[in-house]
Amino acid sequence: MTKPKTVTAILIDPFACTVETVQLTRDLESYYAALSHESMPVRTFELTYRAGLTGADALFFDEDGLYKGAQRAFVLKGYDTPLLGKALIVGANGRGGSADAETDIKSIRDRVMFLEVIGTNYQSAENYRRAVTPWMPPVTTYRLGSAEMVNAPGMVKWAINGATFASDREYLINVIATGWKLPEDAARKLIMGEVPYTVEGETVVFSVPK
């Protein structure tokens, strides 16, 4: 079976705060997959030719980024307008097809600044601040305090141990959810070990993705 032909592109990823080479096939799904993020799926893109790119290289980015509540962006030195989400730098072969990017990846790493999006006025510099760490999904943090007759760490440990028995699982999840007024899903993730927790004194602390 013949492997699909690939081209080497440059992926600018403000979620991971990285600039790396990636292999793309020449079908649209390959581009969509590279440009997508769990918080910002991509099904359409546009391209631009910018100074600082070599030869016929073009920059591909999410055409609908303005409408997705983007949490990350980037800007290339020499341009004032941030681009929302990821971008690809892809070359062209002169026959309307894609080709390996010619732009030096180091030049892009030297020029890029990753940004956190902190507002919705995407034209304002106050909408952004510099991002230096990879994106993390937003979470809700819960703190389960102890009372005179109830020790939270002990109760959580008891419930986790008991939940190994399927017949007791729902009852124990309900005990924790009711006792600390937690959403059932949060209590389930805690008791089933899907999220870690820490103990601060007599308080159990854990976070659940929103």
Q: What is the pLDDT of residues 150-163, one digit of tens each?
A: 999 999 999 999 99
Question: Residue 207's pLDDT is what?
Answer: 94
Question: Residue 77's pLDDT is what?
Answer: 86
Ranges of residues in the chain with a pLDDT under 50 are: 1
Question: Residue 42's pLDDT is what?
Answer: 95
CB atoms within 10 A of CB 199: 13
Rounded to whole angstroms, the Cα distance separating 145 from 103 reads: 56
Rounded to whole angstroms, the Cα distance separating 57 from 103 reads: 7
CB–CB of 71/117 below 8 Å? yes
Question: Residue 94's pLDDT is what?
Answer: 79
Rounded to whole angstroms, the Cα distance separating 119 from 126 reads: 8
